[in-house]
């Protein structure tokens, strides 16, 4: 644990340190064996364009300066475990750091094997930091690396401008061999290489998950005998994982904000989840300042429905669950717009609107008494002059405090220039299905009191999905102004 603390301290020191030309984004994959289950790589090059952009975004917030001062003060404090403090290590961090779960030891009760890689600029300073830690001793050498151990489960190596940390001596030796070109590393893995080619330029963090290998591990766990209560959930997870080849994610700063992106590549286009239709977006009024859109949520309730079923047909609980699945399959939209009070609406478009209305009425009436409310027909008085009602507008079921909700407005949100400009700044493709939108400035503008100065630098927030070939990509964008 002391050695793990050293690795964490050295990585954290990069937040206030300098950088060198040693290493590059993704170099840590060369220390990870091919077939690793999961891998995360961090660009620690403070002089890179990505970090310069991220710093510029941070400096727009008043709290950034104070946070930086506080962090610098913390750098000079001793950890208590090691005599070396963070300020002594500011110049040590190189340009890349990474970590991976390489395998799972089934014989050891499912214990994960892992490795951590940190590029360094000064092996001598790293060794001094390691040797200043309590209970840390030299454990000989391997190749050109000096080895250390804490006598328990901490194994660390320093050499060739790299710090390596692993959960066992064998795993540590394996990573050293891989860096020397002995054996196949994750960087040589064809599946990883294909996924890594899709990582965006300028990212500060990238991640990779080999879902096929995880699925095989879960199969072994199932064969070993999972508890009966977990069997249905395990089967559902295995069914999904077996159709997914890889998952990747990344974090990328830009001049306009922060982008978080994840991609799922399926074994075939038929195995991709159905595209989000966004079929109710034409019901969004132009002044909508937040919405959440979805489709076919009922399909995800399958495990709950299976749990409610019984050999004799499931009884009332199972029937209600089937009704809820039917109600939530189809298009769903929740939005907010200005008003006194704020106007909100939930829109649902199930295959059978009449059945959906019956289900919704049953659910609402079941829960109203617990909230101390009483329905008057299809209307719930929540305050003097304020009512929430549920009704049908054509094939759409509407729950709202706005009588006009559910109708097609004269101008929709998608028609407004501000919304179009925001999506362009976010980098959303023209055919993207937007599932989340929040206009932070509009919300803050309704606040009757002063607003925190940091919040004023937030713009819009949006999430969307897009599909190409056998890959579906989900993106989240937070605008910084």
Over the stretch 90-120, which tens digit does the pLDDT of each residue have? 678 888 999 999 998 766 567 889 999 999 9
In angstroms, the CA 222 to CA 300 distance is 22
In angstroms, the CA 97 to CA 139 distance is 24
The predicted pLDDT at position 53 comes to 93
Is the pLDDT at 468 greater than 80? The verdict is yes
Q: Which residue has the tokens 């019984």?
A: 310
Buried b (16+ CB within 10 A) or exposed e, 257-295: bbbbbbbbbbeeeeebbeebebbbbebbbebbbbbebbb
What average pLDDT does the segment 170-183 reach?
96
Neighbouring CB atoms inside 10 A of 431's CB total: 10
pLDDT in tens, 15-32: 433 333 334 467 899 999
In angstroms, the CA 120 to CA 59 distance is 27
pTM over 0.75: yes
In angstroms, the CA 38 to CA 112 distance is 11
The predicted pLDDT at position 256 comes to 93
| Least confident stretch, 49-58, 101-110, 332-341, 454-463 | 101-110
The predicted pLDDT at position 3 comes to 43
> Which H, E and C letters describe 142-174, residue by residue?
ECCEEEEECCCCCEEEEECCEEEEECCHHHHHH
Average pLDDT, the chain: 82
DSSP SS3 for 365? helix
The predicted pLDDT at position 260 comes to 95
Which tokens go with 170?
């064998």
Q: Which residues are 146's β-sheet partners?
A: 141, 158
Which tokens go with 422?
């925001």
Which tokens go with 376?
């008057």
**How far is CA 48 from each of CA 16, 96, 126, 203, 309, rounded to the nearest angstrom?**
14, 11, 23, 10, 56
In angstroms, the CA 47 to CA 253 distance is 14
Q: Is it true that the peptide bond before 341 is cis, omega within 30 degrees of 0?
A: yes
Q: Which residue has the tokens 């330029």?
A: 201
Is the pLDDT at 225 greater than 70? The verdict is no
The proportion of the chain whose per-residue pLDDT surpasses 70, expressed as a percent, equals 78
- Burial of 371 from C-beta contacts in 10 A (0-12 / 13-18 / 19+): exposed
Higher pLDDT, 198 or 206: 206
Q: Which residues are 369's β-sheet partners?
A: none
The predicted pLDDT at position 4 comes to 45
What confidence tier does 297 reach under pLDDT thresholds 50, 70, 90? Answer: confident
What average pLDDT does the segment 130-143 reach?
88
What are the extents of the domains in the chain? 2-185, 281-413
| Least confident stretch, 189-198, 326-335, 371-380 | 371-380
The predicted pLDDT at position 1 comes to 40
- Burial of 151 from C-beta contacts in 10 A (0-12 / 13-18 / 19+): exposed
Residue 332 dihedral angles phi and psi, to the nearest 5°: -140, 140
**How far is CA 470 from each of CA 178, 268, 466, rounded to the nearest angstrom?**
32, 6, 11
Its sign, for the CA torsion 215, 217, 220, 221, is: negative
Is the pLDDT at 383 greater than 80? The verdict is no
DSSP string over 374-392: --BTTEEEEETTEEEEEEE
Which tokens go with 293?
């859109």
What confidence tier does 451 reach under pLDDT thresholds 50, 70, 90? Answer: confident
Neighbouring CB atoms inside 10 A of 424's CB total: 11
Q: What angle do CA 194, 200, 201 make, to 5 degrees?
A: 115
Residue 393 dihedral angles phi and psi, to the nearest 5°: -120, 95
What confidence tier does 278 reach under pLDDT thresholds 50, 70, 90? Answer: confident
**How far is CA 262 from each of CA 251, 274, 476, rounded to the nearest angstrom?**
9, 17, 9
């Amino acid at each position: 644990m002391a050695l793990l603390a050293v690795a964490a301290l050295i990585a954290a020191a990069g937040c206030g340190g300098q950088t060198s030309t040693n290493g590059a984004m993704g170099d840590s994959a060369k220390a990870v064996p091919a077939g690793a289950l999961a891998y995360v790589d961090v660009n620690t090059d403070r002089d890179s364009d990505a970090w310069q952009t991220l710093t510029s975004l941070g400096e727009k917030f008043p709290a950034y300066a104070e946070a930086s001062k506080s962090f610098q003060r913390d750098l000079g404090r001793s950890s208590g475990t090691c005599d070396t403090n963070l300020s002594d290590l500011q110049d040590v961090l190189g340009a890349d750091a990474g970590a991976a779960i390489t395998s799972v030891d089934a014989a050891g009760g499912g214990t994960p094997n892992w490795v951590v890689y940190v590029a360094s600029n000064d092996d001598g300073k790293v060794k001094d930091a390691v040797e200043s830690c309590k209970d840390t001793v030299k454990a000989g050498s391997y190749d050109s690396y000096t080895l250390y151990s804490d006598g328990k489960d901490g194994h660390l190596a320093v050499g060739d401008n790299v710090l390596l940390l692993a959960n066992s001596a064998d795993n540590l030796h394996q990573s050293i061999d891989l860096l020397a070109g002995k054996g196949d590393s994750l960087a040589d893995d064809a599946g990883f290489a294909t996924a890594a080619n899709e990582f965006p330029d300028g990212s500060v963090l990238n991640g990779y998950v080999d879902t096929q290998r995880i699925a095989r591990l879960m199969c072994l766990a199932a064969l070993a005998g999972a508890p009966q209560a977990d069997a249905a959930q395990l089967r559902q997870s295995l069914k999904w994982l077996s159709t997914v080849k890889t998952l990747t994610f990344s974090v990328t700063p830009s001049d306009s904000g922060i982008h978080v992106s994840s991609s799922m590549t399926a074994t075939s286009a038929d195995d991709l989840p159905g595209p989000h239709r966004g079929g109710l977006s034409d019901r969004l009024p132009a002044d909508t300042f937040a919405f959440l859109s979805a489709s076919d949520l009922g399909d995800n309730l399958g495990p709950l429905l299976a749990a409610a079923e019984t050999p004799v047909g499931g009884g009332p609980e199972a029937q209600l669950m089937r009704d809820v699945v039917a109600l939530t399959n189809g298009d769903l939209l929740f939005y907010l717009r200005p008003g006194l009070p704020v106007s909100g609406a939930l829109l649902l478009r199930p295959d059978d609107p009449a059945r959906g209305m019956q289900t919704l009425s049953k659910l609402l009436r079941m829960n109203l008494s617990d909230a101390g409310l009483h329905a008057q027909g299809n209307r719930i008085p929540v305050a003097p002059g304020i009512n929430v009602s549920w009704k049908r507008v054509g094939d759409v079921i509407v729950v709202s405090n706005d009588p006009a909700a559910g109708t097609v407005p004269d101008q929709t949100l998608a028609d407004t220039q501000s919304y179009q400009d925001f999506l362009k700044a976010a980098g959303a493709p023209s055919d993207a299905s937007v599932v989340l939108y929040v206009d932070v400035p509009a919300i803050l503008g309704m606040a009757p009191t002063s607003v925190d100065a940091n919040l004023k630098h937030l713009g819009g927030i949006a999430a969307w999905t897009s599909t190409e070939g056998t890959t579906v990509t989900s993106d989240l964008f937070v605008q910084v102004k």
